[in-house]
Amino acid sequence: MPAEFYYGVEVFLNGLMAGVMYSLVALGFVLIFKASGIFNYAQGIMALFAAMTLVGFQEGQIPFAHLINAVFGTEVHHFGWTMPTFLAILFALGMMLLFAFLVERLILKHLVNQEPIILFMATIGLAYFMEGFGDLMWGSNVKRLDVGIPQGGNFWIEENTAFLGGEEFYGFYLDTLDIYATVIAVVLVISLVLFSQYTKTGRALRAVADDHQAALSVGISLRGIWVIVWAIAGFVALVAGIMWGAKSGVQFSLSLIALKALPVLMLGGFTSIPGAIVGGLIIGVGEKMFEFLIGAPLLGGATENWFAYMLALMFLVFRPQGLFGEKIIERV
């Protein structure tokens, strides 16, 4: 086999890994969509906010320090302690729970039974709010996030595959962080599938997504459902935030990974948890392979962004509800 082939395989493998990273973000979208029919534009910002909070707790940052200093002319920045990662994660989770609670209280509660696009708009408002709020609380400078997951090419794999492909090939490159991400994603997906498919709450989630009013009328408490779902989505956002934050620091751009999750979402189907994973894998592999085979050599590169969407679009033309999405009911 020529080295080119193995490089192709390497790109393929890395595509899978990148796909998993997208899936982590897409999962959050799916959860909320499934449970309330809301397309949550704020998911990206939630990931950023969760990561910021985590770092903030870890490093003992004083929240709103900048504002406090500006108002009172003080110079406070840090509490002066650093928190163990585990504890910080717990606190960050608590924060996301509180967040879910407030979202329900202040926004969703008032928008029961509205059309999806209006709920979508509300999440946009939420995203704006969080963007300002997060920066105000933790500052908009770049932060290093370290929860102890190793990063960088995995030596073991690299060395043990170097014999393939002769001189020109030096073993498969796989990022250790991505391998961790894969494991975490698989665990997450399995548990979420179990939750939504086999519990009473899971069924209630799907009922709420279909018809708010009817759900209310049979006694499903929208409030409870929403708090649960947003809290889980917050947790997923935290996981995504940690993985992506470890890659390139915690800063505003972290929220833009949402854009990479959208094609995954539409390919897998907005309502399917396994879809998020499968969609991620297809998108990851598709865009990386396209860039490798066609994009970089023939089109001058940087094709990944649009190709991901085009790929998803092609799938949709054949399955308008995505690969695993619930069939769109068309009846009169």
Partner 1 sequence: MLYREVGEFKTSYTADQQTFPISFDKIAYFIALAIAFFVVPLIINDYWAKAILLPFLIFGIAAIGLNILTGYCGQVSLGSGGFMAVGAYACYKFMTAFPDLNLIICIVLSGGVTAMVGILFGLPSLRIKGFYLAVATLAAQFFLVWLFNKVGWFYNYTATGQINAPEREFLGIIISGPNSSPEAVYLVCLSFLTVLALIARNLTRGSFGRKWMAIRDMDIAAEIIGVNPLMAKLTAFGVSSFYVGISGALLFSVFLGAVEVGEVFGIQKSFLVLFMIIIGGLGSIFGSLAGAAFLVLMPVVLKNVMVGSMGWPVDIAAHFEFLIVGSLIVFFLIVEPHGFAMLWRIIKEKLRLWPFPH
Partner 2 sequence: MLDSPQTDEKLLDVNNIEVIYNHVILVLKGVSLSVPKGGITALLGGNGAGKTTTLKAISNLLHSERGEVTKGTILYRGNPVADLNPAALVKSGVIQVMEGRHCFEHLTVEENLLTGSYTRSVSRGDIARDLDLVYTYFPRLKERRKSQAGYTSGGEQQMCAIGRALMSRPETVLLDEPSMGLAPQLVEEIFGIVKALNEKEGVSFLLAEQNTNVALRFAHYGYILESGRVVMDGPAAELRENPDVKEFYLGMSDEGRKSFRDVRSYRRRKRWLS
Partner 3 sequence: TFPNLTYRTGPYAVNGIPYADGYADYMALLNSRDGGIGGEKINYIECETQYNTEKGVECYENTKGEGSLVYQPMSTGITYQLIPKATADGIPLLTMGYGRTSAANGKVFSHIFNYPANYWVGASAVINHILSLNNGNIKGKKIALVYHNSAYGKEPIRTLQELEKKHGFKLSLLPVDHPGQEQKSQWLQIRREKPDYVTMWGWGVMNPTAIQEAANIRFPMENFIGVWWSGSEGDVLPAGNGANGYKSLAMHNTGSDFPIYADLKKHVYDKGLAAGDGTSSGQVLYNRGLYAAMLATEAARLAQKMSGKANISPADMRDAMEAFSINEAQMASLGLPNFAPSFSVSCENHGGPGLAAIQQWDAKAKKWTMISDFIKTDAEVINALIAEDSAAYAAENKIKERCG
Residues lying near partner 1 in the complex (CB under 8 A): 39, 66-67, 70, 106-107, 110-111, 114-118, 120-122, 124-133, 135-136, 140, 259, 262-263, 265-266, 270, 299-300, 302-303, 305-306, 309-310, 312-313, 316-317, 320-322, 328, 330-332
Residue among 71 and 328 whose Cβ is closer to partner 2 = 328
Residues near 143 by beta carbon (within 8 Å), at least 6 away in sequence: 52, 55, 59, 245, 249, 250, 251
- Under a CB-based contact definition with an 8 Å cutoff, are residues 29 and 23 in contact? no
Q: Which does 217 bind (CB under 5 to 8 A by kind): partner 1, partner 2, partner 3, none?
A: partner 2
Rounded to whole angstroms, how far apart are CA atoms 312 and 27?
A: 17
Other C-beta atoms closer than 10 Å to the C-beta of 187 total 11
Instruction: Classify residue 199 by burial, with Cβ atoms within 10 Å: 0-12, 13-18, 19+.
Output: exposed
Rounded to whole angstroms, how far apart are CA atoms 55 and 60?
A: 8
Q: Which of 1, 86, 106, 113 binds partner 2 (CB under 8 A)?
A: 113
Minimum CB separation of residue 190 from partner 3 in Å reads 26
Q: Which of 219, 298, 317, 318 binds partner 2 (CB under 8 A)?
A: 219
Token digits for 202? 């899971």
119 touching partner 2, by CB under 8 A: no
Instruction: For residue 257, give the nearest of 35, 78, 27, 80 by alpha carbon.
Output: 27
Minimum CB separation of residue 167 from partner 1 in Å reads 35
Q: Which does 207 bind (CB under 5 to 8 A by kind): partner 1, partner 2, partner 3, none?
A: partner 2
Size of the site for partner 3 (CB under 8 A): 48
Sign of the alpha-carbon torsion through 103, 104, 106, 110: positive
Residue among 40 and 271 whose Cβ is closer to partner 2 = 271
Q: Which of 69, 77, 158, 206 binds partner 2 (CB under 8 A)?
A: 206
Q: Tokens 């799938």, residue?
A: 315
Residue-wise burial string across 10-30, b where 16 or more C-beta atoms lie within 10 A, e elsewhere: bbbbbbbbbbbbbbbbbbbbb
Residue among 162 and 259 whose Cβ is closer to partner 1 = 259
* Cα three-residue angle 48-49-52, rounded to 5 degrees: 85
Q: Which does 266 bind (CB under 5 to 8 A by kind): partner 3, partner 2, partner 1, none?
A: partner 1
Q: Which does 194 bind (CB under 5 to 8 A by kind): partner 2, partner 1, partner 3, none?
A: none
251 touching partner 3, by CB under 8 A: yes
Residue among 104 and 287 whose Cβ is closer to partner 3 = 287
In 98-254, where do the E strands start and end?
none
Interacting residues with partner 3 between 189 and 218 (CB under 8 A): none
Cα distances from 91 to residues 150, 193, 222, in angstroms, run 23, 26, 26
Rounded to whole angstroms, how far apart are CA atoms 204 and 226?
A: 11
Token digits for 143? 């932060």
Which positions from 281 to 300 touch partner 3 by CB under 8 A, shown as an x/- string?
------xx--xx--xx---x
Tell me which residues touch partner 2 (CB under 8 A).
112-113, 200, 203-204, 206-207, 209-224, 326-327, 329, 331
Tell me which residues touch partner 3 (CB under 8 A).
7, 10-11, 14, 17-18, 65-66, 69, 73, 75, 77, 131, 135, 139-142, 144-146, 151-153, 173, 175, 244, 247-249, 251-254, 256-257, 260, 287-288, 291-292, 295-296, 300-302, 304-305
